[in-house]
Amino acid sequence: MKSTLKLTLGLTSAMFASTAVSNVAQAEDLTLCWAAWDPANALVELSKDFTKESGIGMKFEFVPWTNYADRFLNELNSKGKLCDLIIGDSQWIGGSAENGHYVKLNDFFDKEKISMDDFVPATVVGYSEWPKNTPNYWALPAMGDVVGWTYRKDWFSKPELQKEFKEKYGWDLAAPTTFDQLKQIAEFFQKREIDGKTVYGASIYTERGSEGITMGAMDVLYSFGFKYENPDKPYEMDGFVNSEKSVKGLEFYKALYDCCTPPGASNSYMGEGVDAFKSGQVAMHMNFAFTWPGLQKDENVGGDKIGYFANPKGPDGDQFAQLGGQGISVVSYSDKQEAALKYIKWFANKDVQAKWWSLGGFSCLNAVVKDPGFAASQPYAPTFLDSMAIVKDFWAEPSYAPLLQASQKRFHDYVVAGQGSAKDALDGLVKDWTEVFQDDGKM
């Protein structure tokens, strides 16, 4: 996920205009389309090796997250030829497959002996497959991402706070493993004075305009027992989306928002979360893993001051996390599909994937993430591995946009605006989603 986002992470160094790795334009130059953010800069650097090996020049069309979905979905829907390769959001896969925007890659994978078994299973399902859980591949997993948490390890380790917390809650102040523990920690830090400054418990997703509050609420709801549908009857949502467990999960998310977020947190997403953490406002911070390399390097909150933990367990021990990230696809309208497939083959190589990780990309290749040295390669690597093992994703249906718009409205109206109850919100969501699937002829 991460479409039409407001992303103010200081990523102005990302190239918003077309940029070429090679100085001399060539007939076989490929244009790769993606979002403008730090991983895109890493991909530009990485792709210089492809040009050296193949002689094929690379151009890049990077668009800010706020315009990413509109820009490239319009390009695909108009059958434009700008993009030869595209790194598209996970939820685009259904529509792009059914509408013929992407080249199906099965025959190519078979020919080149590229096996989806070599990639983290969740990323294959999330980024490559349509229909889900079938061996029909429309993308190569490219950028693994997942919602996890950072925390102020330096605050947690203060002896006086350790003592006070243990006396109050009966357990050692440390990275939480359950949502109950997370809320206790957030309450403990809320409006506390640390180093002469008032701080707050946690930054969570509340943004209304794109997908923010859905990504945040679902990150909690999964672990409370939420299910999108009856596992035995597709699109049967009543009793699953609005189950008692789902209701408790949404109530928890609102309680966390009400008790423990900083002032002005009613429309917060990735950029605002990073700002809150980097400015020393919050003890804990919900965000996608792609933010971690930059935070780790931050002079004020990085290094030994920052810690990471996977999304906690719910009341019954369930533990899941919201999937992010994208796959790389060949655009079916491109006149350079053969050269684009060469790039896919090159990108799938183990050595290339290892360098991708070292430059700041998040590899999905098992040979990289299961390497004995991976966990020690970055302080956040173990949390990334733990998180990618528990992912779930939002609907990837061709009609994902109205499905997402419905959840954004229902969640924000309840969690932030305080309208109605959690049960009302989820009952309404079942109604909204049912109408979408009825219009699609799937119910």
In angstroms, the CA 238 to CA 274 distance is 36
Q: Could you give the C-alpha distances from 269 to 7, 100, 203, 250, in angstroms and in order?
A: 8, 32, 9, 18
Residue 27: predicted pLDDT: 55
Is the bond preceding 131 in cis, omega lying within 30 degrees of 0?
A: yes
Lowest mean pLDDT among 10-24, 146-160, 227-241: 10-24
Model confidence pLDDT, tens digit, residues 394-428: 999 999 889 999 999 999 999 999 999 999 999 99
Backbone φ, ψ for residue 232 (5° rounding) = -100, -5
Structure tokens at 126: 């999330």
In angstroms, the CA 227 to CA 397 distance is 16
Mean per-residue pLDDT of the chain: 93
In angstroms, the CA 205 to CA 257 distance is 9
- The yes-or-no verdict on residue 120 having pLDDT over 50 is yes
Residue 1: predicted pLDDT: 54
Contact 429, 406 (CB under 8 A): yes
pLDDT tier at 66, thresholds 50, 70, 90: confident
**Mean pLDDT within 78-82:** 97
Three-state DSSP class for residue 11: coil
Model confidence pLDDT, tens digit, residues 297-350: 999 999 999 999 999 999 999 999 999 999 999 999 999 999 999 999 999 999
pLDDT tier at 67, thresholds 50, 70, 90: confident
β-partners of residue 140 are 328
CA 242 to chain centroid: 24
Can you give the pTM of this predicted structure? 0.92
- The yes-or-no verdict on residue 393 having pLDDT over 70 is yes
In angstroms, the CA 327 to CA 188 distance is 40
Q: Could you give the C-alpha distances from 82 to 58, 332, 377, in angstroms and in order?
A: 13, 11, 37
- Find, among 57, 69, 63, the residue nearest to 15 by Cα: 63
**Mean pLDDT within 278-296:** 97
**Mean pLDDT within 374-390:** 96
Percent of the chain topping pLDDT 90: 91
Model confidence pLDDT, tens digit, residues 220-274: 999 999 999 999 999 999 999 999 999 999 999 999 999 999 999 999 999 999 9
β-partners of residue 102 are 331
pLDDT tier at 65, thresholds 50, 70, 90: confident
- The yes-or-no verdict on residue 200 having pLDDT over 90 is yes
In angstroms, the CA 327 to CA 120 distance is 12
